Amino acid sequence: MILSHKHKFIFLKTKKTAGTSIELALSQLCGPEDIITPLSAMDEALRANGRGAQNWRLHGWWKSPHALKRVKLKTKDYGYYNHAKAAEICEHIDEKVWRSYFKFAFERNPWDRQVSLYYHRYRHEKEPPPFTTFIHTDKRAQMNNYDIYAIDGNISVDFIGRFENLEEDLKRALEHVGLTLATELPRAKTTSRHGNNPYRKYYDEDTRDIVGRWYAREIELLGYEF
């Protein structure tokens, strides 16, 4: 996530929606007082033209830029982090800031997003399980983006861009705060699919319906179709 006091915007980073690429671009616009959450070492190296992680710690004693794996830490324990939820951010900033700053996030067709998650999850596996097995058996298969940009089920941002229209929608978002990007959107965490198959090729009727149920809120909100 990025909270810019300089330009009065808050970017809430959802998962598998090119969020890291957006962060890399936005960090080039940030000032010294803005909050920029840490990325992986590989992605931080891509921020050569922008500011790195800064002002995200809430406790001076926490030195590591990364939360401990398998330990569920919240902002009050750790600090601001990549996929911090709107409700968590609200706990630590002035209410006037939350109300007055322009808040935006991005979403993606859930059926397409799920295939992207599948490849990311098994990116280090030589022989990953079939996609249907991933859907049926992996306890981490279901992804929660909706609660990043909603509070108590209600949308809490001013604009939700679409991954499918990424650069144009990011441009629209930045126009709300009088900004433009000086360079093309950086590319990060691009995971190629075997054969670049369309996402529909991975589904049968059962898995299509499962994903449809998992992400019914996003589908209804943005009118996505299989």
CB-CB contact of 84 with 14 (8 Å): no
What predicted TM-score, i.e. pTM, was given to this entire model?
0.90
- What pLDDT was estimated at residue 76? 66
- What pLDDT was estimated at residue 65? 66
Would the pLDDT of 189 be above 70?
no
pLDDT tens readout for residues 95-142: 999 999 999 999 999 999 999 999 999 988 889 999 999 999 999 999
CATH number at residue 62: 3.40.50
Phi, psi for residue 104 in degrees, rounded to 5:
-150, 160
Q: What domain count does the chain have?
A: 1
Domain that holds residue 76: 2-222
The encoded tokens of residue 197 equal 């198959």
- What pLDDT was estimated at residue 68? 58
